[in-house]
Amino acid sequence: MLEIKNLTVSFSNTEAVKGIDMKAYDGQIVSVVGESGSGKSVTAKSIMGFDFGAKVKGSIRFDDKELMKLSQKEYRAMRGNRLCMIFQEPMTSLNPLHKVGKQILESVKVHRKSTDAKITNEEAKCRVIEVMEEVGLNEGIYDKYPHELSGGMRQRVMIAMAIVNNPGLLIADEPTTALDVATQDQIINLIREVNKTHDTTVLFITHNLKLAKQISDYVYVMEKGRIVESGLAEEIFENPKEKYTKKLIDSIPRHIKLKDTMLEK
């Protein structure tokens, strides 16, 4: 379980996140929804322990560990293993000079090294091909460079890289924003399949309420660094209580009905 208590994130004299509490139970898909600047991505980076020039206070517990007390070495051992994150633009994370299969393979090797578990190169490659097929990429993609793939395929590579070591928590930070609508739905379905197959907790960061409605079990709505509303997905979207939440829902194009966006669970 992920549990956040009184998380505050500051840049100089500006608080980007203002004392929030949040939970994500094992196997849940929890969405954090809000406009740009609401603090949702800063929250995600804080969970991952990234150094992004901010002062972070509060408590972040995962796997019965207080992440705020981990050394950078301990945090690095968790990232890519128990904690994983995919981003809006895969090319910011993929190395353009290396084939995608090699990059996923490196994740396997680093994980095994951190756990002192031995694995041959052949075994590691078999694991990579297995997870690539799981996310809808054929074996031939192994030897492709990132620039040879479409945006949707690159995002599938990032998901493969994230789940290859069976993480407990997958943070997806606006993973579909740069994709066309049809590809968005494919990636949403893939994330849900990963959630079911691996029993991986998913924290889904988005400004898109339609997507949050499709994928979420539970929703947190953030505005200006604060959580203004939270609850079960259906409750939030069918009976919003806060003015800001209603504003976000009203911003959805009229031809899209929220009740029609819930995927079968």
CATH code of the domain in which 162 resides: 3.40.50.300
The one-letter amino acid code at 208 reads N
C-alpha pair distances (Å), 35 with each of 65, 72, 118: 31, 31, 45
pLDDT range class, residue 261, cuts 50, 70, 90: low
Opening angle at CA 49, ends 248 and 218, nearest 5: 35
Amino acid 163: pLDDT? 94
Tell me if 220 is assigned to some domain: yes
CB 20 within 8 A of CB 64: no
Minimum mean pLDDT among 81-90, 104-113, 187-196, 238-247: which range?
104-113
Helices vs. strands in the chain: H and E counts, helices first: 9, 10
**Can you give the residue range of the structural domain that contains 122?**
2-29+40-229
Between 70 and 113, where is the model more confident? 70
221 within a domain of the structure (yes/no): yes
Instruction: Answer yes or no: is 215 within a domain.
Output: yes
Token pair listed for 197: 């197959």
pLDDT, position 209: 85
Position 186 pLDDT exceeds 70? yes
Enter the pTM of the model: 0.90
Q: Has residue 262 been placed in a domain?
A: no
Scanning the structure block, which residue is given the tokens 């809006």? 88
Structural domain includes residue 248: no
Contacts (Cβ under 8 Å, ≥6 apart) of 34: 40, 207, 221, 222, 223, 248
Residue 261 falls inside a structural domain: no
Domain annotation covers residue 260: no
Q: How far apart are the first and last CA of the chain?
A: 21
pLDDT over 60 (residue 250) = yes
How many domains does one find in the chain?
A: 1
252, part of any domain: no
